[in-house]
Amino acid sequence: MSLQIGQKAPDFTAETTEGKISFHDWIGDSWAVLFSHPKDFTPVCTTELGYMARMKPEFDKRNTKIIGLSVDPVTNHAKWAKDIEETQGTAPNYPMIGDTDLKVAKLYNMLPYETPGSSEGRTAADNATVRTVFVIGPDKNIRLMISYPMTTGRNFDEILRVIDSMQLTARHKVATPVNWKNGEDVIIVPAVTDEEATAKYPQGFKKLKPYLRTVAQPK
């Protein structure tokens, strides 16, 4: 069965560069970003891991933990980290899962369940589908999934933008319009009546259509 947004994120235990974890316990009351990689020492992923290390303070501000996964041993991750620091300026400052038995990749539908063997002998091309970003809420439900091709670097600024939107809309009865950025006007959801919106937003709101009403972002 494929994973879907709103479904409980599968729990697992795994070895990481920061010790053994139980995934749901590791998330705790935070949000989490799990982003996967098809192989250690791959060029696009090298740039991604370094960028995420530099962005970590921004995720910390949003009570969001980040964790990487690659279908290689943790010992390889440690060697790769040196290359990442040398070429990108920052080594990973978050845990990296070693998924040598492909358990997590299969659990998250990034590889077919019937895939035989382990990571040994597998190439990046064999694992091309292991390039997905999952955002998981404190309730352990999947809030976002995006899969990328191997030749296209991921836009983690976009992931940060989406987390801003999801955290805002979890607190208020609003939605965010196309290309929204933190601080811009938002949409009042249809479930809120005009009367309720007037009481909630005494500063006023714009009614473009009965179903399309915008208001300044709530604080």
Residue 95 clears pLDDT 80, i.e. is over it: yes
Question: How many Å apart are CA 87 and CA 145, to the nearest integer?
Answer: 28
Among 2-16, 92-106, 116-130, 166-180, the least confident range: 116-130
pLDDT digit string, tens, across residues 159-172: 999 999 999 999 99
pLDDT at res. 202: 94
**Mean pLDDT of the region 190-212:** 96
Share above pLDDT 70 across residues of the chain, in percent, rounded to a whole number:
100
Residue 173's pLDDT band, with cuts at 50, 70 and 90, is very high
Share above pLDDT 90 across residues of the chain, in percent, rounded to a whole number:
90
Is 73 in the active site?
no
Q: What angle do CA 160, 164, 166 make, to 5 degrees?
A: 110
Question: How many Å apart are CA 91 and CA 88, to the nearest integer?
Answer: 8
Residue 217 clears pLDDT 80, i.e. is over it: yes
Residue 175 clears pLDDT 90, i.e. is over it: yes
Residue 77's pLDDT band, with cuts at 50, 70 and 90, is very high
Question: How many Å apart are CA 35 and CA 18, to the nearest integer?
Answer: 16
Question: How many Å apart are CA 47 and CA 31, to the nearest integer?
Answer: 23
Is the alpha carbon torsion for 162, 165, 168, 170 positive or negative?
negative
pLDDT digit string, tens, across residues 118-157: 888 888 999 888 999 999 999 999 999 999 999 999 999 9
Q: What's the chain's average pLDDT? A: 96
Residue 8 clears pLDDT 90, i.e. is over it: yes
Token representation of residue 95: 């845990």
Question: How many Å apart are CA 135 and CA 145, to the nearest integer?
Answer: 7
pLDDT at res. 2: 85
pLDDT at res. 117: 86
pLDDT at res. 41: 96
How would you class 19 by CB atoms within 10 Å of its CB: exposed for 0-12, middle for 13-18, buried for 19 or more?
Answer: exposed
Catalytic member of 9, 14, 33, 45: 45
Residue 219's pLDDT band, with cuts at 50, 70 and 90, is confident
pLDDT at res. 1: 56
Question: How many Å apart are CA 93 and CA 71, to the nearest integer?
Answer: 19
For tokens 């040994």, the residue is: 120
Among 70-79, 95-104, 109-118, 173-182, the least confident range: 109-118
